[in-house]
């Protein structure tokens, strides 16, 4: 066992504390808008904190550290696109301002408003599939991490997954967004301490000169220059950067876990401010764990499974007596990510898929309480699925690429459709005016590169990812032009 009795004690006290604070805020939950978006009462710092908690989990550390471990300083380029995109969106209000002004809870709601229920349903289905496939590898990877840190045998992977997810499920189900906000506060305090602590201890123990030398001798120019051997065709080349810039623009508006945080903001100004300042936070969110991976390479040298390099290094460099705190910090990061993702994807399924079906069959909306109940049942089902997926799906690629490609199933279509829904719905656009057929085609064509990714022979992911956005754009324009020619709208008609 790597954890001593007082380490375990710290972890247990922390979990109990989180549960307790989650349960005392239960009384604040009124209707579905309290449950899903905390009644839109979130102010700037809390919003930023909550966004960071959602987007930093053990999985984040694992996939970034794996990149750093395998590709050295080159991987640090990954931190730059989110920085630029967040700053641009926050400052200009492009896409996000109109979305915040509309006061919607999920993006598919916008599709219903601007297109039809059918588009909302279709988007919801793709989002749910992509999101859950993405989420599906979390438990396996994280349980591996937990087992190495704690010293629990690898044989008990399933048991670790079940315990972790059960804890998260219980507190998410009974709290919703308000509870997530309160527990996020505690979790952020702990996880930020953990991140700073690991980086400083690592630098002090290993030293910058040794890290640089290890990368230089072990990887050569490949570990330092992202455009090596050529700007096009390398894993982190121009296509990768373009894909990431588009991906982040899309993610910030179409990634339900992020969008929900923004939709929970008190007002439009707060939402934009959260975006602007997140640029720096998302930059650090990538850079620090990638650097841990580079440190692990310098400290450990070759390990059998690159995904395990980070926990193996942590067990060795964290001083005795601190491992319990660091473990609780990492667990904290994960719990908030899990709870937010469970809440996000279950809300897409319950609101956009089941809600749409019920409305079509019975002709009326579900009651608020029934919607919460469906959302909770959906969470349970998602949890069972992701445990199964974690056990049976083997990731052959970098974890980072798998996670990015699974969300590319719906993200390109979403970005293009959102942009057209907001900016190209006016009559003055003539045959280019956004239409339902365009939306369906954008989603469908944009999803193809992800399907291609799951085949053994495929181009570099940067190229696949960029292609997805191009196809979605072509689909949107072609579909709209055809619809406008074949069935033009009357002067006052929407569609």
Partner 1 sequence: MRILIDFWVFIVLTALFSFTIMSLLIVYKAYFELKTMLKGMEKSEKGEE
- Measured CA to CA, the distance from residue 272 to residue 93 in angstroms comes to 6
Q: If you ran DSSP here, which 8-state letter would residue 393 be given?
A: P
In angstroms, the Cα distances linking 132 to 17, 258, 341, 378, 384 are 29, 15, 9, 12, 11
Q: How many residues bind partner 1 (CB under 8 A)?
A: 51
Burial 438-477 (b: 16+ CB within 10 A, else e): bbbbbbbbbbbbbeebeeeeeebbbbbbbbbbebbbebbb
Query: Which residue from 406, 306, 333, 402 is spatially nearest to 66, judged by alpha carbons?
Result: 306
Residue closer to partner 1 (CB basis): 182 or 354: 182
Terminal C-alpha separation, the chain: 62
Question: Under the criterion CB under 8 A, does residue 98 sit at the interface with partner 1?
Answer: no
Q: Rule CB under 8 A: which of 277-316 touch partner 1?
A: 277, 280-281, 283-284, 287-288, 291
Distance CA(407)–CA(462), nearest Å, equals: 14
Q: Is 42 in the site for partner 1 (CB under 8 A)?
A: yes
Residue 367's CB is within 10 A of a number of other CB atoms, namely 11
Of 8, 94, 174, 185, which one interacts with partner 1 (CB under 8 A)? Answer: 185
Candidate residues 4, 16, 159, 196; the one interacting with partner 1 per rule CB under 8 A: 196
326 scored as a contact of partner 1 (CB under 8 A) = no
Q: Is residue 103 near partner 1 by the rule CB under 8 A?
A: no
Neighbours of 26 (CB within 10 A): 12
Of 167, 170, 201, 212, the residue at the interface with partner 1 (CB under 8 A) is 212
Give the one residue of 113, 320, 367, 487 binding partner 1; rule: CB under 8 A.
367
- Contacting range for partner 1; rule: CB under 8 A; set: 41-49, 160-168, 250-258, 432-440: 41-49
272, 429 Cβ separation under 8 angstroms = no
Residues 179/171, Cβ–Cβ less than 8 Å: yes
Q: Side-chain half-sphere of 69: how many Cα atoms within 13 Å?
A: 29
CB 261 to partner 1: min, Å? 13
Among candidate residues 222, 230, 253, the one with its CA nearest the CA of residue 423: 253
> Considering only residues 148, 178, 382, 411, which one is a binding residue for partner 1 as defined by CB under 8 A?
178
Stretch that binds partner 1, among 3-11, 42-50, 325-333, 380-388 (CB under 8 A): 42-50
Task: State which residue, 205 or 216, has the beta carbon closest to partner 1.
Answer: 216
Residue 259 sits in the site that holds partner 1 (CB under 8 A): no
Nearer to partner 1, 76 or 421 (CB): 76
Nearer CB in complex with partner 1: 23/33: 33
Could you say whether residue 116 binds partner 1 (CB under 8 A)? no
- Tallying the residues shown for the chain, one arrives at 495
Q: Which residues of this chain interact with partner 1, rule CB under 8 A? A: 25, 27-34, 38-39, 41-46, 48-49, 52, 73, 76, 79, 178, 181-182, 185, 188-189, 192, 195-196, 199-200, 208, 212, 216, 221, 224-225, 277, 280-281, 283-284, 287-288, 291, 367-369
């Amino acid at each position: 066992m790597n954890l001593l009795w007082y380490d375990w004690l710290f972890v247990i006290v922390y979990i109990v504390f989180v549960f307790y604070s989650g349960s005392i805020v239960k009384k604040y939950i009124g209707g579905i808008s309290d449950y899903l978006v905390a009644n839109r009462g979130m102010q700037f710092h809390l919003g930023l904190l909550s966004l960071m908690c959602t987007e930093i989990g053990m999985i984040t550390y694992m996939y970034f550290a794996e990149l750093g471990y395998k590709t050295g300083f080159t991987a640090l380029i990954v931190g730059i696109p989110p920085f630029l995109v967040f700053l641009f969106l926050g400052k200009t209000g492009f896409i996000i301002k109109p979305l915040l002004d509309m006061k919607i809870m999920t993006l598919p709601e916008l599709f219903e408003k601007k297109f039809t229920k059918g588009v909302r349903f279709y988007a919801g289905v793709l989002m749910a599939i992509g999101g859950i496939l993405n989420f599906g590898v979390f438990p396996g990877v994280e349980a591996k991490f937990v087992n190495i840190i704690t010293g629990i045998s690898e044989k008990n992977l399933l048991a670790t997954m079940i315990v972790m997810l059960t804890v998260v499920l219980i507190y998410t189900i009974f709290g919703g967004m308000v509870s997530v906000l309160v527990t996020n506060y505690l979790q952020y305090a702990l996880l930020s301490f953990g991140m700073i602590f690991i980086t400083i201890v690592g630098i002090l123990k290993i030293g910058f000169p040794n890290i640089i030398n290890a990368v230089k001798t072990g990887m050569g120019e490949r570990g330092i220059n992202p455009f090596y051997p050529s700007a096009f065709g390398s894993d982190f080349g121009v296509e990768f950067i373009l894909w990431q810039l588009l991906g982040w623009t899309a993610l910030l508006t179409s990634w339900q876990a992020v969008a929900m945080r923004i939709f929970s903001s008190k007002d439009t100004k707060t939402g934009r401010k959260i975006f602007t300042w997140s640029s720096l936070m998302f930059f650090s969110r990538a850079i620090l764990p990638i650097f841990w991976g580079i440190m692990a390479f310098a400290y450990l040298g070759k390990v059998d499974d690159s995904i395990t390099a980070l926990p193996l290094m942590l067990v060795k460099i964290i001083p005795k007596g601190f491992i319990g705190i660091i473990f609780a910090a990492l667990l904290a990061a994960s719990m908030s990510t899990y709870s937010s993702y469970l809440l996000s994807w279950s809300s897409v399924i319950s609101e956009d898929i089941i809600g749409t079906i019920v409305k079509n069959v019975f002709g009326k909306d579900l009651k608020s309480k029934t919607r919460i109940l469906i959302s909770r049942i959906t969470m349970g089902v998602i949890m069972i699925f992701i445990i199964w997926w974690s056990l049976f799906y083997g990731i052959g690629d970098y974890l980072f690429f798998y996670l990015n490609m699974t969300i590319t199933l719906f993200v390109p279509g979403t970005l293009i459709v959102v942009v057209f829904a907001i900016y190209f719905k006016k009559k003055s656009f003539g045959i280019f005016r956004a239409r339902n057929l365009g939306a369906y085609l954008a989603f469908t064509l944009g999803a193809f590169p992800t399907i291609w990714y799951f085949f053994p022979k495929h181009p570099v992911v940067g190229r696949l990812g960029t292609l997805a956005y191009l196809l979605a754009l072509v689909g949107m324009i072609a579909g709209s032009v055809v619809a406008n020619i074949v069935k033009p709208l009357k002067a006052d008609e929407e569609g």
